[in-house]
Amino acid sequence: MPITHEWNGTILTITSDSGTSSCDLRGEKGDDGARGITTVITECVAEDSKQLGGVAAKEYATKDYVSANTAPAGYGYGGVVVSANTTTTTTEAELDAVLKTMLSGMSNGEAKQIKFTCSVLPDWGFCGTLFKTGTYYASLVAYAEYKDAVIGMSKAYYYGVWQPWEWENPPMVLGTEYRTTERYNGKAVYAMCIDCGTLPNTSSKSISTTIPANANVIYTRGIAVGSGGGAEAMPCIAYNGAITCAYFLTNNKNININTFTDMTGYNGNITVKYTKD
């Protein structure tokens, strides 16, 4: 019998060969700062098939997931937002050390809502969720107001080491490398937008970049923006099909731009995505 589940408001019902279990995921109002209602969700877990009398059969076991520190009315984490005691000059390495200390005081499966600042965006404060999944594994997902937008970032605690920040929606400041949450062939994807300046008049120009030598480019996108506000994708193709502007990356990760007409009325920028060896 397959495992099925059904929702009725906030009540979750799970049915399997081992039976039916239900629980209301909205707990009662708990006392401020104290442990609230403990909710146990019973999950049926399929074990490896075993041979019973020559007939393959699956046995099912149950696993309890316990959530505590219920917030008022049964929502949220309970308790208050915890300050990580960092400053705008706190480096990523220093933040990693603070987070590691916080994890040492948390139980496996425990989550905390924390606030912090650090040098990655020195003028903006972050608020996020620190979740400890095991002794050597955890994650931090955080958000910050950045000018007129909300920026999302995350990092993983893997084998006892905090990994670099990964950006969900980087601000793409020109010439800045961002490690993103995107993956390509199992590897982290980095992104950088390069300012190419004014495009040449029926000639070529080379733009040096800070793309690392071990980068493997997987994507490029070029835009030529005109002084009057118009824009064209690069390579630019005229109405008659002729290529008016093209670009390519050299082996040393510089950008070469060739124009076949006067393009001095345009500024170019090229976004490059890549993995690293």
pLDDT class for 34, splitting at 50, 70, 90? very low
Residues 39, 67 contacting (CB under 8 angstroms): yes
Residue 97: what are its φ and ψ, rounded to 5°?
A: -65, -40
How many CB atoms are located within 10 Å of the residue 133 CB? 14
Q: Which helix (H) or strand (E) holds 101?
A: helix 92-104
The per-residue DSSP string of 23-75 comes to: EESS-PPPPTTS----EEEEEEEE---EEETTEEE--EEEEEEEE-SPPGGG-
Read off the amino acid at residue 210: T
pLDDT of residue 19: 74
The torsion of the CA quartet 12, 68, 129, 99, rounded to 10 degrees, works out to -150
Calculate the alpha carbon distances from 176 to 23, 47, 184, 193 in Å. Answer: 49, 48, 20, 7
Give the number of other Cβ atoms within 10 Å of residue 28's Cβ. 11
Can you give the pLDDT at residue 131? 94
Q: What digits encode the pLDDT tens for the residues 236-263?
A: 777 666 777 888 888 888 999 999 889 9
What percentage of the chain carries pLDDT values higher than 70?
Answer: 77
| pLDDT in the model for residue 239 | 67
What number is the average pLDDT over the span 220-237?
86
- pLDDT tens figures, 192-224: 999 999 999 999 999 999 999 999 999 999 999
Neighbours of 191 (CB within 10 A): 18
